[in-house]
Amino acid sequence: MMTNKKEQIVLYGLGNAGRSMLPYLRERFEIAFWVDGNPSLWGTEYEGISIRSPESVSEYDGRIIVTTTDAFFVEISDFLLKSGFEKNAVFRGQHCVFDQREELVPYEVGMLEPKKVVLKKCDLLKRDEERNGCKVMVFCGFYSSYVNQVVRNCKIRMPDIHFSILSNAEAYLDEMREYADHIYVYHSYAELYGILSELPQYDVFQMLWIENIWVYFRELIRKKCRRLNLCVGGSDLYRARDAERIYKKSLIDMADTVSAETDATICAFVKAYPSAAEKIRWVNFGIETLEYMDQDCFIRAREKRRSMDIPDDRMVILCGYNAGEAHQHLEMIRALKTIDETIKRKIVLVFPMTYPKEQDDYIEKVRTELNDCGISYRILTDYMNQQAMAVLEMMSDALITVQKTDQLSSTMLEIMYAGKTVIAGSWLPYENLREKGIFFVSVDEMDNVAESVSEIVVNDKVYREKCAVNKDIVYALSSWNTAADRWRGLWTD
């Protein structure tokens, strides 16, 4: 009896993305072996598949499926091409992200077969494309509250501009149906190819942020807009690997304008991409939460303290603002252990760890470290909307923000607006805030955090007075009433 023999492939990259894709790949292929750059895995197995070193690919002569995140795909695919593989043998295993399904993506867009689509059916709002005034399409390859904030706040202040959204997340529908003309959602690279092919020409394509998926479709994207704008995020620049930065240059070169939120980010970007020096400008995101920080919020903040069983005579110190390991919570806690016992009895540490998802193991490590710290603490894991965040920030007395890299934290600015003290790592690009007159405390290394916390606890009144100047400066810098005008300049100048 004849049987259909599965094609044999090799997988490259045994991370979370690869593990999540394994059932999909096993259904379709016979897997010869798995390659990974971690020497401790070589000679072991995962789910019955042997794991080998990168050099072992030289023994293989078929298709390679790179099962990693975007950041590593560029670097690994370059290695494979230099190892003698043809481009048509290198594929990316796209794992599930929001509403984007699993698929195999060829190395170049010219090898990808576009899916035939009816544009209106790909629009969650089911509307025909019309020519109405200035048309701006906002791109984001995931669900981000920043998309909602830009579209909502700019539409309220600029009713003459017609916004659309292109993403892989259907979650935008609930919040954006009143503000967007179209919400196009793709579920695969092939479907995205079809949507881009069918779109009429837009006045502006605005990207949040410089993502690899847009680099992949750069030629088609450039043809479909009169103006192409990119926005630089922290991960685009500070956390990008060298190969990824080189890969993104082709899209950056095509852009008309690149924007960034801080002077330090602009300088770092120009250093990385000197050819873009003439096209970069300062445009920041506004902060909606500022609008909720009023007298009513102050009253609810006092109620919140009571509900969290925090005594009135304790100072509340926020430790970071999410559950990402880049916030260095463990190192921060170890530093805080050295605080004098009298100070420990005067503070409560609060860890907002409501996102990203799937950080349960890390949160438990933080909890374990805190249990040995000798300081009262609370860990927050339930989702908080902007009103809830405003209440949390209003009830706090200080924020410690010592993550490894950052562009500009809205949580930090909200704390400053509320008149509370910020302790920030001096390695973070915040000096331009000091130049604008904003007061905050800098620490050169993690060991200095304990000393700074002790200082603000002992001299609480002095620090409150110093922080009083921050409110008006932050409002002028970061309210949507002022920021919206800078965004309009990107689209209409």
Which residue, chain included where needed, has tokens 């009262």? Answer: 376
* Confidence category of residue 4, pLDDT binned at 50, 70, 90: low
Return the pLDDT at 1.
Answer: 43
Instruction: Read off the pLDDT of residues 73-90 as tens digits, 9 standing for 90 and up.
Output: 888 999 999 988 999 999
CATH of domain 289-478: 3.40.50.2000
Return the pLDDT at 323.
Answer: 92
CATH 3.40.50.10140 fits 119-283, yes or no: no
Q: Which residue has the higher pLDDT, 210 or 262?
A: 210
Query: Which stretches does DSSP call E strand in 45-86?
Result: 45-46, 49-52, 63-66
Chain centroid to Cα 144, Å, comes to: 8
For residue 215 the two structure tokens come to: 């680099």
- Using alpha carbons, select from 463, 467, 395, 423 the residue that is nearest to residue 320: 423
* Confidence category of residue 236, pLDDT binned at 50, 70, 90: low
The yes-or-no verdict on residue 270 having pLDDT over 90 is yes
* Cβ neighbours of 59 (radius 10 Å): 10
Task: Count Cβ atoms within 10 A of the Cβ of residue 43 and give its class: 0-12 exposed, 13-18 middle, 19 or more buried.
Answer: exposed
Alpha-carbon torsion 112, 118, 121, 123, what sign?
Answer: positive
Return the pLDDT at 175.
Answer: 93
Average model confidence (pLDDT) for the chain? 92
| CATH match for 7-95 among 2.60.40.1120, 3.40.50.800, 3.40.50.720, 2.40.128.120 | 3.40.50.720
Return the pLDDT at 473.
Answer: 96
Please, what's the b/e burial string for 367-400 (b: 16 or more CB within 10 A of its CB; e: otherwise)?
eebbeebebbbebbeeeeebbbbbbbbbbbbbbb
Return the pLDDT at 74.
Answer: 87
The yes-or-no verdict on residue 139 having pLDDT over 50 is yes
Residues 427-441 have a mean pLDDT of 91
- Using alpha carbons, select from 315, 365, 346, 335 the residue that is nearest to residue 425: 335
Choose the weakest-confidence range: 14-18, 135-139, 301-305, 461-465: 14-18
Domain ranges of the chain: 7-95, 119-283, 289-478
d(CA 352, CA 317): 11
For residue 427 the two structure tokens come to: 């390695």
For 252, the 3-state DSSP assignment is helix
What does pTM read for this prediction? 0.80
Return the pLDDT at 38.
Answer: 93
Residues 42-68 have a mean pLDDT of 91
Largest CA distance in the chain: 86
Pairing label, strands 49-52, 29-35? parallel
Torsion angle of C-alpha atoms 326, 331, 332, 336, degrees rounded to 10: 180
Instruction: Read off the pLDDT of residues 207-224 as tens digits, 9 standing for 90 and up.
Output: 998 998 999 999 999 999
Phi and psi of 381, rounded to 5°?
-120, -10
Cα→Cα distances 347→81, 98, 318, 341, 393, Å: 56, 39, 10, 10, 15
Q: What is the DSSP secondary-structure string of 170-211? A: TTHHHHHTTTEEEEEE-SSHHHHHHHHHHPPPEEEEEEES--
Tell me whether the CATH fold assigned to 7-95 matches the one assigned to 119-283.
yes
Percent of the chain with pLDDT over 90: 79
DSSP state of 326: G
Instruction: Read off the pLDDT of residues 286-296 as tens digits, 9 standing for 90 and up.
Output: 998 998 998 99
* Confidence category of residue 34, pLDDT binned at 50, 70, 90: very high
The yes-or-no verdict on residue 2 having pLDDT over 70 is no
3-state DSSP: the chain helix, strand, coil percent, rounded to 5?
45, 20, 35
The yes-or-no verdict on residue 3 having pLDDT over 60 is no
DSSP state of 472: H
Return the pLDDT at 133.
Answer: 85
* Confidence category of residue 243, pLDDT binned at 50, 70, 90: confident
Percent of the chain with pLDDT over 70: 98
* Confidence category of residue 372, pLDDT binned at 50, 70, 90: very high
Return the pLDDT at 17.
Answer: 87
Please, what's the b/e burial string for 298-328 (b: 16 or more CB within 10 A of its CB; e: otherwise)?
eebbeebbeeeebeeeebbbbbbbbbbebbb
d(CA 89, CA 85): 6
Chain centroid to Cα 441, Å, comes to: 25
